[in-house]
């Protein structure tokens, strides 16, 4: 698993036209919104909008006021779901500077998602530049409270007005940003997980490894089932009853000899949080394995005491210990340990500049 490598070099930056929002929130209004921001409900004053077309390439890069998009009702995305997205955060350090975490890895993943969904591959430099351009106008929206950050949502979709089934000739790339607080109020309390036996989120050769809306659409019904069962999240299996992942988070098992095991499969979305957490574990001397883990291995491992901790991870929640696994005919209490939360603390210390970034993961976005 190598998610980091140098972006292509020698590409001239895009020349963004900036049109300022005339209804920018006042300092007082913004301060009020930043007190306790709820995930994905409040957005900054501006957004990024870049066009792509066959023949024209990437063009018309703009920073513009945040607001509704005008879409032709025949836009291909509305009919065939040709869409991809990313999730990445900006962190404010104690000296006021603004940083993001491994943006090259997100930029490369956006390219892999684009390939699978037959969308154009945005150069990684443009991806990182788009975050910088948004911070240049909306930097004041990066909150400074404990566990707060600015969540970027870059996304790309087919906007050509055409009902024929083929990759669209006109595409839009956008970035919006939303201030967020701690995902779990009052600390990372263990989550309960519903085992979806009836539904899968992805299949062999499908789009499971791409960050695309369709995978999420497929997870909504099983997620609703999880809520009905009194669970917070749903975990999916593959056709061979191997554990895949949650709807939007990867899963990691800790064994009693200190080994961390995470499912490896071509239909899992490769999380950057997972990769980073596993690297920190390797740095501490833990052994790390990517391999198949069947649901039987999970349940038997917990029953025998071989598995001593199970946690989920992703950018939004960072790390969530799993406290319960519930299936149609069982409820398995999960063992809780110290490792998940200690790795979470180490990772967030790096992200917020409280601990040395020995891997060169941080990239400054302001100034």
Whole-angstrom distance, CA of residue 78 vs CA of residue 265: 30
Q: Which two tokens stand for residue 159?
A: 């906007």
Which stretch, 23-31, 32-40, 64-72, 248-256, contacts ligand PLP (CB under 6 A)?
Answer: 248-256
Q: Of residues 226, 272, 319, 350, which one binds ligand PLP by CB under 6 A?
A: 272
- Are 193 and 324 a contacting pair, CB within 8 Å? yes
Task: Kindly tell me which residue out of 233, 315, 334, 348 binds ligand PLP, with binding defined by CB under 6 A.
Answer: 315
Q: Give Rg (Cα) of the chain.
A: 21
Q: Which is nearer to ligand PLP, 202 or 307 (CB)?
A: 202
Single out the segment in contact with ligand PLP by CB under 6 A; choices: 28-36, 144-152, 271-279, 322-330.
271-279
In sequence order, the 6+-apart residues with CB closer than 8 A to the CB of 282 are 288
Q: How far apart are CA 80 and CA 269, in angstroms?
A: 21
In whole angstroms, how close is the CB of 305 to ligand PLP at the nearest point?
28
Candidates 47-55, 67-75, 232-240, 264-272: pick the segment binding ligand PLP (CB under 6 A). 264-272
The DSSP result for 258-278, as a single string, is: S-EEEE--TTS---HHHHHHH
Residues in 200-229 that interact with ligand PLP by CB under 6 A: 211
For tokens 């997980």, what's the residue? 193
CB of 181 to ligand PLP, least distance (A): 17
Q: Which stretch binds ligand PLP (CB under 6 A): 63-71, 149-157, 269-277, 353-361?
A: 269-277
Distance in angstroms (rounded) separating the CA atoms of residues 112 and 110: 5
Candidates 67-75, 155-163, 268-276, 283-291; binding stretch for ligand PLP (CB under 6 A): 268-276
Rounded to the nearest whole angstrom, what is the least distance from the CB of residue 282 to ligand PLP in the complex? 17
Instruction: Kindly tell me which of 153 and 286 has the beta carbon lying closer to ligand PLP.
Output: 153
Q: Which stretch binds ligand PLP (CB under 6 A): 37-45, 243-251, 336-344, 352-360?
A: 243-251
**Per the structure block, which two tokens stand in for 25?**
């929130």
Among residues 160, 232, 245, 346, the one that binds ligand PLP under rule CB under 6 A: 245
Closer residue to ligand PLP, CB minimum distance, 176 or 272: 272
The three-state secondary structure class of 82 is: coil
Q: Does 249 bind ligand PLP (CB under 6 A)?
A: yes
Residue 45 or 250 with smaller CB distance to ligand PLP: 250
Cα–Cα distance, 205 to 11 (Å, whole number) = 33
Binding of ligand PLP at residue 267 (CB under 6 A)?
no
Q: Which is nearer to ligand PLP, 115 or 166 (CB)?
A: 115
Q: Which is nearer to ligand PLP, 33 or 272 (CB)?
A: 272
Which positions from 48 through 107 interact with ligand PLP, judged by CB under 6 A? Answer: 87
Tell me which residues in 125-164 interact with ligand PLP (CB under 6 A): none
* 63/212 with CB nearer ligand PLP: 212
User: Counting beta carbons within 10 angstroms of the beta carbon of residue 245, is it exposed (0 to 12), middle (13 to 18) or buried (19 or more)?
Assistant: buried
Q: Which of 356, 278, 244 is nearest to 3 (CA)?
A: 278
For residues 93 and 80, give the distance between their C-alpha atoms in angstroms, rounded to a whole number: 42
Q: How many residues make up the chain in this entry?
A: 367
> What 3-state DSSP class applies to 26?
coil
Binding-site size, ligand PLP (CB under 6 A): 13
Which candidate, 216, 174, 187, places its Cα nearest to that of 199?
A: 216
CA nearest to 71, candidates 86, 63, 61, 83? 83
Q: Single out the residue of 87, 249, 96 nearest to residue 177, CA to CA.
A: 87
Question: C-beta of 270: minimal distance to ligand PLP in Å?
Answer: 7
Euclidean distance between CA atoms 195 and 312, whole angstroms: 14
> Contact between 321 and ligand PLP (CB under 6 A)?
no
Cβ-proximal residues to 38 (8 Å cutoff; 6+ apart), any chain: 180, 181
Site residues for ligand PLP per CB under 6 A = 87, 211, 245, 248-250, 269, 271-274, 314-315
């Amino acid at each position: 698993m190598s998610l980091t490598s140098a972006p292509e070099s020698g590409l001239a930056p895009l020349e963004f036209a900036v049109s300022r929002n005339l209804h920018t929130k006042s300092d007082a209004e913004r301060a009020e919104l930043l007190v306790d921001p709820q995930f994905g409900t409040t957005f900054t004053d501006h957004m990024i909008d870049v066009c792509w077309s066959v023949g024209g390439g990437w063009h018309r890069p703009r920073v513009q006021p945040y607001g509704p998009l005008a879409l032709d009702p025949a836009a291909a995305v509305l009919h065939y779901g040709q869409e991809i997205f990313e999730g990445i955060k900006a962190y404010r350090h104690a000296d006021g500077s603004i940083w993001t975490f491994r943006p090259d890895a997100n930029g490369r993943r956006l390219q892999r998602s684009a390939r699978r969904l037959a969308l154009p591959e945005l150069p990684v430099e443009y991806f990182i530049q788009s975050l910088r351009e948004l911070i240049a106008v909306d930097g004041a929206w990066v909150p400074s409270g404990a566990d707060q950050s600015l969540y970027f949502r870059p996304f790309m979709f087919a906007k050509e007005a055409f009902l024929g089934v083929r990759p669209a000739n006109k595409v839009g790339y956008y970035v919006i940003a939303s201030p967020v607080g701690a995902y779990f109020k009052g600390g990372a309390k263990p989550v309960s997980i519903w085992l979806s036996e009836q539904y899968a989120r992805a299949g062999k050769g499908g789009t499971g490894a791409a960050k695309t809306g369709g995978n999420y659409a497929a997870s909504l019904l099983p997620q609703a089932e999880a809520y009905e069962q009194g669970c917070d999240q749903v975990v999916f299996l593959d056709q061979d009853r191997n554990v895949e992942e949650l709807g939007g988070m990867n899963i990691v098992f800790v064994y009693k000899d200190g080994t961390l095991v995470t499912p490896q499969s071509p239909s899992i979305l490769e999380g950057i949080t997972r990769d980073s957490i596993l690297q920190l574990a390797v740095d501490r001397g833990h052994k790390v394995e990517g391999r198949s883990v069947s649901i039987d291995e999970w349940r038997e491992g917990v029953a025998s005491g071989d598995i001593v901790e199970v946690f989920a991870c992703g950018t939004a929640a960072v790390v969530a210990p799993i406290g319960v696994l519930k299936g149609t005919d069982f409820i398995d209490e999960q063992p809780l340990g110290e490792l998940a939360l200690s790795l979470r603390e180490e990772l967030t210390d790096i992200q917020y500049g409280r601990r040395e970034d020995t891997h060169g993961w941080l990239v400054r976005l302001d100034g």
